[in-house]
Amino acid sequence: MREPGAGRVPAGQRSVYADHAATSWPKPAAVVHAMVEYLEQAGANPGRSAHRRAVASARAVFAARQAVARLLGVRDESRIVFGPNATWAINLALYGLLEPGDRVVTSAMEHNAVARPLHDLSRRGVEVTRVRCTPEGYLDLDDLRRALRRAARGQASVDSPGDGAGCSTPGVARGVARGGARHPMCLLVLTHASNVTGTILPVVEAARLAHEHGALILVDAAQTAGCLPLDVTAMDLDLVAFTGHKGLLGPQGTGGLYIRDGLTPRPLVRGGTGSFSHLEEQPLVLPDLYESGTLNGVGLAGLGAAVEYVAGVGVDRIRQHEVELTRRLLRGLEAIPGVRVYGPRQAEERVAVVSFNVLADGAAGAGGAPPAAARAVARPAGSAGEGGVVDPALVAELLDSEFGVMVRAGLHCAPWAHRTVGSYPQGTVRISLGYSNTPEEVDYIVSAVAAIASRLRRARQGGGCGECTGSHR
């Protein structure tokens, strides 16, 4: 899977890709091959015509659907609907199911893919309760139980109290097929793992609690599909949003939603499906109901090959490798003076995502939450003054320009998670590893962070930045 020297790293300079939580790279050769083959050998419109190229195209999409269904433990693959990404899938679930008066419980670790639609829906009469999490990103199940109980009783939000009616029972057909009066719906929306700290949330226990309180559960699996074992049937999940281009190792522009049998969200988009063309109404059959317009055939051909690759390696094996890398990375970063690591200390409690900051003063390392770091969160980004942290963007830039280490800095589209862990508004430097990374690469990343931290802190203490060869801020 390796292609050294790609990207904008100069020839001869070493590079390490450590931004897998944004998009995995490189993709397995089989993915590239499948996409080229699709364009050359198929390349027609899947599900429309029935000539040989269209048939080859439709078969490629079908194979991708089968592969994803198998990997996620879905028996009926028509319950997997494809779209461009996990954000689309989350929007389909939220806007397709929720109506004014409905109640949502969510966590304080969510990505904007969840937080922004819920913010919008809260202005349209949906009651949203955000359950706080610990500074490591853990969700307390007792807090969750209380929030679900309040939501079920119609006391979801102190700002907009409900009408006191109980929540409806999950499993009842909703949305399109619904008729007559309805009880308010309760929906629990949880990320499976944080894209900031990697913290894994207890979705199985959460699903059980949700169902006990008459609520449904939507899981955002953007950071976990392909990285953690995920069996939606065994885990009793109702809706699962996934993306193709992260842990599943597929191309960008692919993703989708698993919808449990009996749930029928209203579609976000209506239009041509290649079926029931004589009807003005959107066909109710799956996956057509949610797949209007031409699908990303070439992307899905790549996704199918990617998922077969992941299944061939085995998610358990991928997980084991990523835990070992993460443990090594945590150990290395925690030993660097003046570096604060966020999130769980145990690699087993995260996906391979590690956020850190370089403290601008003091020797406060990873242990606990030092006062310096606590003060730092109130400082504007880039100030890096006494008690603050060095601008994560500067650290990320130096990692790339001087060491060829590619990471992501900032808020990672998840301001709530940064508020929770105490890194708002400046954010963090995020290292995210993938199956293609090696222990030796992790050691190189650690040595690069150590060199940068040492230099920046020396420069800060000296009052200038005379040694820095990167951008001066």
Partner 1 sequence: MRLCAVFPSTHQALRLDSLLREESIPHSLIPTPRWISEACGVAVAFDESHREKAVELAAREGVQLTGIFPLEPERGCSQAPPDLPGGGSG
Q: Smallest gap, in angstroms, from Cβ of residue 306 to partner 1?
A: 19
CB of 257 to partner 1, least distance (A): 15
CA distance 407 to 429: 7
Please report how close the Cβ of residue 341 comes to partner 1 at its closest, in angstroms.
46
CB of 297 to partner 1, least distance (A): 13
User: Which residue number, 65 or 412, has a Cβ lying nearer to partner 1?
Assistant: 65
C-alpha R_g of the chain: 23
CB of 58 to partner 1, least distance (A): 6
To the nearest whole angstrom, how small is the minimum distance from the Cβ of residue 87 to partner 1? 24
Block residue for tokens 């955002």 = 220
Give the Cα separation of 364 and 371 in Å (integer). Answer: 9
Q: Is 48 in the site for partner 1 (CB under 8 A)?
A: yes
Q: Does 208 bind partner 1 (CB under 8 A)?
A: no
- 49 near partner 1, judged by CB under 8 A: yes
Nearest approach, Cβ of residue 82 and partner 1 (Å) = 11
Nearest alpha carbon to residue 240 among 216, 262, 273 = 216
Tell me, by CB under 8 A, how many residues bind partner 1: 25
Angstrom distance (rounded) from CA 249 to CA 245: 5
> Under rule CB under 8 A, which residues in 225-254 are in contact with partner 1?
none
Q: Are 354 and 343 in contact (CB under 8 A)?
A: yes
Site for partner 1 in 386-445 (CB under 8 A): none
Q: In the complex, what is the shortest distance from the CB of residue 44 to partner 1, in angstroms, rounded to a whole number?
A: 12
Q: What is the contact mask toward partner 1 in residues 249 to 288, using x (rule: CB under 8 A)?
A: -----------------------xxxxxxx----x-xxxx
**Which of 80-118 are b and which e, b meaning 16 or more Cβ less than 10 Å from the residue's Cβ?**
bbbbbbbbbbbbbbbbbbbbebbbbbbbbbbbbbbbebb
The smaller minimum CB distance to partner 1, of residues 117 and 265, is found at 265
In the complex, what is the shortest distance from the CB of residue 261 to partner 1, in angstroms, rounded to a whole number? Answer: 12
Contact 106, 80 (CB under 8 A): no
**DSSP string covering 416-436:** HHHHHHT-TTT-EEEEE--TT
Q: Is residue 44 within the footprint of partner 1 (CB under 8 A)?
A: no
What distance in Å separates the CA atoms of residue 264 and residue 260, rounded to the nearest whole number? 9
Q: What does the alpha-carbon distance between residue 255 and residue 91 come to, in Å, rounded to a whole number? A: 12
260 vs 319 by CB, closer to partner 1: 260
Nearest distance in Å: CB 290, partner 1: 12
CA angle 211, 181, 99 (to 5 degrees): 65
Distance CA 266, CA 83 (A): 15
Q: Does 59 bind partner 1 (CB under 8 A)?
A: yes
Question: Cβ closer to partner 1: 65 or 130?
Answer: 65
Cβ nearer to partner 1, comparing 78 with 160: 78
Handedness of CA 162, 168, 174, 178 (dihedral sign): negative
User: Among 384, 30, 330, which Cα is nearest to 198's?
Assistant: 330
Residue whose token pair is 């390796």:
2
How far apart are CB 38 and partner 1 at their closest, in Å? 16
Classify 307 as helix, strand or coil: helix
Q: Which of 23, 66, 122, 252 binds partner 1 (CB under 8 A)?
A: 66
**Quick one: 1 or 55, whose CB is closer to partner 1?**
55
What's the token pair of residue 454?
């040492």
* Nearest residue (CB) to partner 1, 15 versus 264: 264
Structure tokens at 313: 């390696």
Strand arrangement, sheet containing 353-358: 339-341, 353-358, 428-432, 408-410
Q: Which of 6, 29, 39, 50 binds partner 1 (CB under 8 A)?
A: 50
Among 20, 38, 47, 256, binds partner 1 (CB under 8 A): 47
* Structure tokens that stand for 346 in this block: 């145990």
Handedness of CA 116, 117, 122, 128 (dihedral sign): negative
Q: Which of 58, 148 has the CB closer to partner 1?
A: 58
Residue nearer to partner 1 on the CB measure, 286 or 369: 286
Nearest residue (CB) to partner 1, 64 versus 298 = 64
CB of 41 to partner 1, least distance (A): 16
Please state the separation of Cα 326 from the chain's center in Å: 17
CB atoms within 10 A of CB 448: 22
Q: Is 78 in the site for partner 1 (CB under 8 A)?
A: yes
308 binds partner 1 (CB under 8 A): no
Catalog residues that contact partner 1 under the rule CB under 8 A: 47-50, 55, 58-59, 62, 65-66, 76-78, 272-278, 283, 285-288
